[in-house]
A and B are shown apart, each in its own frame.
Chain A
Amino acid sequence: MNLRPGRKAALGAVGIGVALLLAWLVTSQGPLASTKVTVAKVERGTLTASTFGIGTVEARRAYALGPTVASRVLRVLVDQGDAVKAGQLLAELDPVDLTDRVTSAQLAAERATSAIRAAQAQLDEARSRSRTARVSAERSVELRAKGFISQEAVEAKAYEATASDAAADAAAAQLAVAVRDRERALSDVSGAGKLRAQARLVSPVDGIVTSRLVESGTTVVAGQAVLQVIDPASLWIRARIDQGHAGGVRVGQPVEIALRSDQKRTYRGQVQRVDWVSDAVTEERIVNVGFAARPEAASVGELVEVTIGIDQLVNARSVPTAAVKRINRQDGVWRVRQERAMFQPVKVGITTLDGRSQILDGLEDGDEVAVHSDRALQPDATVKVVSALVGSAP
């Protein structure tokens, strides 16, 4: 072809350009394209194992005050939010006939006292009669020995003495009955009095009224709460921890608490109780966390987040959690060797909340592992190491 040199060069350039374009297409877009990955080195450092859960603020000591028998509420003296003192009268129930019953029992007690006096007098009389009869019987025995009276008269006197003894015993028993009657009447007085005292609902502690459930005039059944009082010093958190992460939680571990109403601040606390019973439906363990210092902002029932520090591992070997993959029930990481991906099984220890996994076995310090990839890695896939796959947040 006798083309002009300029044209020839231009054609050649276009041809090379097209070839390069095709080569770029094949190597960067198709299945032959290498997978882009980011890598990280195995590092040694301190790992903090912690677990996370959510819970609600609760009062450890909450008191539901209500009547012990069905009754009508006479008056309620406090309202929700009121601070109350121990022993303070909070509400009163209508005692109906309780006062009358106390009076009746008191009257019965007075009557019993009189009965005791009567019984005592009867006893005194019977004893005196008994003494006289016994003396007379003894004398008749002496007279019979001298032959002044008949044997029959002696026996009659002896009978009289025995009968008057029995009468004295009966009178003593009467007195005991009267004493018991009085005691019973006094018990009735105290019982009715206690019952009447139950009609007055008093605060068992220094606390805060959290709810006023019924108003005066309402009829309530035995055990139904009229008022609820909590001890504000006993606020704690009932946190739910996923059973899978609750293994290391122990009493005394430090806790970071974030309140929903005050998300920016972190409060300190401590695990105070780990329930023996887990929630079988939600598969969560119940852990109670106490505040180091009670936050003013906390309200009962408020949602909180707790982070429980379980353990600190010093000088532990770790990789980013994103690098650890589970393939065929085997934990492992992808290593990059000569631009090829290779699956390396590892034994993983704890995983921290900020995304680092402890490596117990399978990797050495300084080994490089693939962390992020722009598609799922396959064994022997060609990879290209880049610094980041997506731009970070501005």
Chain B
Amino acid sequence: MINLAARDILHGWGKFVFTGVGLGLLIGVTLSMAGIYRGLVDDGQALLAIGGADLWVVQRDTLGPYAEPSSVRDDAYRALLAVPGVAEAGNVTYLTMQIQHDAGEVRVMLVGIEPGHPGEPGYLVAGRPITRSHYEAIADVRSGLRLGERIRIRRHEYTVVGLTRRMVSSGGDPMIFVPLKDAQEVQFLKDNDALVNERARTAANPEFNRPGVPGLLEAVQASQSNSHSVNVVLLRLAPSADEMKVADQIRRWKHLEAYTRSDMNEILVAKLIDTSARQIFMFLVILSIVSAAIVAFIIYTMTLNKVREIAVLKLIGARNSTIAGMILQQALGLGAIGFIVGRTAATMWAPIFPKYVLLLPGDAVRGALLVLAICALASVVAIRAALRVDPAAAIGG
């Protein structure tokens, strides 16, 4: 039995392969879109995975450090450590800011951590952890910073001592980890001009600058310039502790809000990146429809180009199933080539994207099945047209 599809493809294999590659690039774009969506979700989850926290304790009635601003006193951790079930606590601050680097600016998320406590990056790809309590930084490789480089953040210079990977904010900005006290200074202390202005303003206020009360002005000014706040306290629980119970305890008695990992996941994925995720999903749907339409067109034109040959086949007595099989096989072959090319292309260009593109094998399998289903469906139109061909067309026309 001669395989008609293979023979036909070999007859004009160049055209067939090129059509497949073209289709593949389109599928690659579709897969990348899916990858961008997965990457968005994964960025959110990477953010939660950093530091290995079980509970996020934030200011009451706020949605935590990622979705809303939150401010907690930095000595709250002592009270939290006393809650039964809490094993470790770490103060963390987050601040999205621009830093100067290589004559340009990089948008980064500055994270203040206490080395050795929850909140510090889980692994490094180069360098060492922070060992000094000031002026050292660990940067995500995406920030473009290199080991040993000195960067200026507000009024101090920091040395990059370690590099890490996939430590990004929910918006995909690379993180820079610095010691907590430095980060507090960056976030809550004003710049020098503002400090001087503020001092002058306080000195001009007769309430604070009273004659006959030496030291009052200095005391007021000192109280204005220190900061003891953090954005979140990350808690790690004892293995036996029930996170819901501990969270309830904290809400009830410490007057702070506590979120478990699933709560935070909900906030990050369902609330924060929901709109962009839906946007990308719309693109995905449109691209799928366009791909299906293009496959259908290609198969249809390929079939129409062969009207005469099909008529001849019919004339020599080929069965309808043989002709339908030939078209279906060609369509599926086109789909297979397209998928492989698309998947490879997506893998190749994924690292160039400014945002993280996560290509899941599960998505690839689903994509492959979808592509083959679309191809099969698209071939139906062509098969119908082929079956309607009048055998007389082989002689006439």
Contacts and interface: CB of A to CB of B under 8 A. Distances in A.
A393 B6 contact: no
A373 B124 CA distance: 6
Contacts of A371: 124
Interface range for A: 35 or more
A18 B340 contact: yes
B107 to A, nearest CB: 20
A321 B128 CA distance: 6
B165 A375 contact: yes
Interface centre among B10, B125, B141, B343 (most CB of A within 10 A): B125
Given A351-B131, A392-B146, A372 B123 contact: yes
B246 to A, nearest CB: 16
A7 B12 CA distance: 12
Interface string B320-349: 000000000000000000001001100100
A21 B6 contact: no
Contacts of B211: 221
Contact of B132 (A26, A353, A375, A390): A353
A352 interface: yes
Interface residues of B, number: 47
A29 B364 CA distance: 12
Interface in A204-242: 221, 223-225, 241-242
A254 interface: no
Interface string B247-277: 0000000000000000000000000000000
Dominant SS among interface residues on chain B? loop
A223 B132 CA distance: 42
A54 B146 contact: no
Interface string B73-97: 0010000000000011000000000
A372 B133 contact: no
A52 B126 contact: no
Contacts of A377: 123
Contact of B75 (A225, A281, A329, A351): A281
A332 interface: no
B127 to A, nearest CB: 7
Interface string B346-363: 010000000000011100
A29 B128 CA distance: 27
A374 B163 CA distance: 10
Given A52-B133, A321-B128, 12 more contacts: A25-B344, A32-B361, A225-B214, A242-B133, A321-B131, A322-B127, A322-B128, A325-B123, A354-B128, A354-B131, A371-B124, A372-B126
Interface of A: 1, 3, 7, 18, 21-22, 25-26, 29-32, 52-54, 221, 223-225, 241-242, 244-245, 281-282, 305, 320-322, 325-326, 328-329, 351-355, 371-377, 388-390, 392-394
Interface of B: 2-3, 6-7, 10, 49, 75, 87-88, 116, 122-129, 131-135, 141, 146-149, 161-163, 165-166, 181, 211-212, 214, 228, 236, 239, 340, 343-344, 347, 359-361
9 contacts: A1-B2, A52-B131, A221-B214, A223-B214, A241-B133, A354-B128, A355-B129, A393-B148, A394-B146
9 tightest CB-CB pairs across the interface, nearest first? A355-B128, A393-B146, A52-B132, A389-B125, A30-B361, A242-B133, A322-B124, A376-B122, A353-B131
